[in-house]
Amino acid sequence: MTTHPDLTSQAIQDSGAIEEIQFLDHRIRFGPTHTGWVSFVARPGQRPTIILASERETLLAQSHKLVEQRIAGRR
C-alpha cells in the first residue's frame, strides 16, 4: 500500500488550525497559510483539488461551488 503525504498538514503550518467540513459527498479540509487560505476538496478515495483564496469566506464559497459543479456534471 502506498502512503500519500497529508497535503493539508504540509500547506498549513499550524496543524491545529486545520478545519474540516463535509459538503454533500465531499470532504473539505482547509486552513490559513502565510499568504491566505487553502482548501483541499475531495470525494472519498480521490485526489484532492486544491483551492487558494485570500479570505476564508471566499475560499469556502469557491469550495462549495466546485462541489456543486462536480455533482451537476455527474447528472
Q: In percent, how much of the chain has pLDDT > 90?
A: 68
Task: Please report, as a single letter, which amino acid is at residue 29.
Answer: R
Name the more confident of 35 and 64.
64
pLDDT at res. 12: 66
Residue linked to cell 459543479: 69
For the residues 43-69, what does the mean pLDDT come to? 96
Q: Where in the chain are the domains?
A: 7-74
Model pLDDT, residue 64: 98
Spatial separation of the C-alpha atoms in residues 54 and 27, rounded to whole Å: 21
The residues that bridge with 32 in the sheet, in sequence order, are 37
pLDDT tens profile 12-42? 666 678 999 999 999 999 999 889 999 999 9
